[in-house]
Structure 1
Amino acid sequence: MNTQSKSELRQLLRKQRAEKYKTHTLLHISQIPQVEKAQTIASYFSYGDEPDTHALNQHLISLGKSLLLPRINGESLEWVQWDGSNEQISSQSLIPEPIGEAITDTNAIEVVLVPALAMDPTGYRLGQGKGFYDRALKGLSAFTIGIIFPHELMSEPLPKDSWDVPVNLVEITR
């Protein structure tokens, strides 16, 4: 079992996100059967050293998918449909967020792409430490896919708390 705390792991993994991974792609995610079948997909707008979701998001829109991006509202995430335009993105906060009305029917979400700093073989993830995705995923019945760089797949179980929600599938950039 991993003896490092979540905080120590976050610090180490942020340092390890190297420039060599910036050329990795996520387009293969569009070929996952659950993604192919889905009409409504919740993704995220990557920032900083996260695996780059920009090309994947645009590709999903080009395939006719309804793409939702998260926006922080208090202690929760809400989902806003994104048309792929930069005009619909606000950069007033550290994390780019979509502009527009939040959807009210989250049951329509069929797949959620989830950011992570690390994942373990059982689908548990180490997030940024605020719990937004754990709270959001608890209320959804969607198929969930965690996205990481190759070195962020841990061989040992990550430390877990009672509120942590595992994802259904771990996908690594290629």
Structure 2
Amino acid sequence: MQPPHVDPNAIRSKRNWRAQLTAARATLTDDAREAANRSLTVHVAALAVASDPAATIAAYAPAGNEPGSWQLLDTLAAGGAQVLLPVVASGDATALSWAIYRTRDDVAVGRYGICEPTGPRLPPDAIADASLILIPALATDHHGIRLGRGAGYYDRSLPMASGLLVTLHYDHEFVPGPLPMDAHDIPVHATITPELGLQRLPLGNSAA
């Protein structure tokens, strides 16, 4: 399938990047998204941490056409790791709280239509226990700069993380860049796409 068109030369701001990337996602067919998500599940499951019963993994429940799937979350939970999903509090943007994901039967729709576990809430610093943090994003560039949706929840949460920061993307969303970067933006350590699998960042730095 021909990837959706995103013209990096025509983009100068985060707003323009978000508009083009959101429009490109909307052109993906259901079959294309399902195939991409099956591949992403395979790549994430191949990480050693995914089968470590002593591990904690912070992940997310995909909303709309975001890459990621319930199959991925179920695979991680079946591997024995403790899987945390974010909980968005009411009011102004603040650091995310967390809750343990067990099955799809134990989730409910929360703020912004995002599914959240119904169990006890864990404080924002629970992310510090995660050795792997899977992060939603509209794009990541070859330097590790992540472009989110702009609400700021992850900007407030990631400073508390100590594990491997990994974004999940459709292939066309891993871009050479540079993406616009603000002082509070924290580069990620890697990205995973359906065709490329795990890409350590910055690209070309094997020690990253």
SS for the counterpart of 1:70 is strand
1:9 is matched with 17
Aligned pairs for 1:26-37 (under 5 A) are 26-27=40-41, 28-37=43-52
Tell me the distance in 2 between the aligned counterparts of 1:137 and 1:82: 20
Aligned pairs for 1:1-174 (under 5 A) are 3-17=11-25, 18-19=28-29, 20-24=32-36, 25=38, 26-27=40-41, 28-37=43-52, 39-73=55-89, 74=91, 75-86=94-105, 88-93=106-111, 94-104=113-123, 106=126, 107-174=128-195
**What amino acid maps onto 2:70 in structure 1?**
H
Question: Unaligned regions of 5+ residues in structure 2, if any?
Answer: 1-7, 196-208
Name the CA shift for 1:36/1:166 in 2 (closer, same or farther; >3 Å): farther
- CA shift for structure 1 position 153: 0.9
Tell me the distance in 2 between the aligned counterparts of 1:113 and 1:10: 20
> Rg: which structure is higher?
2
Aligned residues: 173
The C-alpha deviation readout for 1:97-136, integer Å capped at 9, x for no partner, is: 2222122462322111001100001111110111111211
The answer to which of 76-85 and 112-121 deviates more is 76-85
The answer to which of 17-26 and 157-166 deviates more is 17-26
Q: What RMSD, in angstroms, separates the aligned Cα atoms of the two structures? A: 1.9
Tell me the distance in 2 between the aligned counterparts of 1:164 and 1:64: 32
- CA shift for structure 1 position 92: 4.4
**What amino acid maps onto 2:75 in structure 1?**
H
SS for the counterpart of 2:34 is helix
Q: What stretches of structure 1 move > 3 A for 4+ residues in a row?
A: 33-38
Identical pairs, percent:
32
Tell me the distance in 2 between the aligned counterparts of 1:126 and 1:95: 19
Higher relative contact order (CA 8 A, sep 6+): 1
Name the CA shift for 1:130/1:140 in 2 (closer, same or farther; >3 Å): same
SS for the counterpart of 2:165 is strand
Name the CA shift for 1:168/1:35 in 2 (closer, same or farther; >3 Å): farther
Question: Unaligned regions of 5+ residues in structure 1, if any?
Answer: none
Q: Contact conserved, 1:124 with 1:167, CA < 8 A, in 2?
A: yes
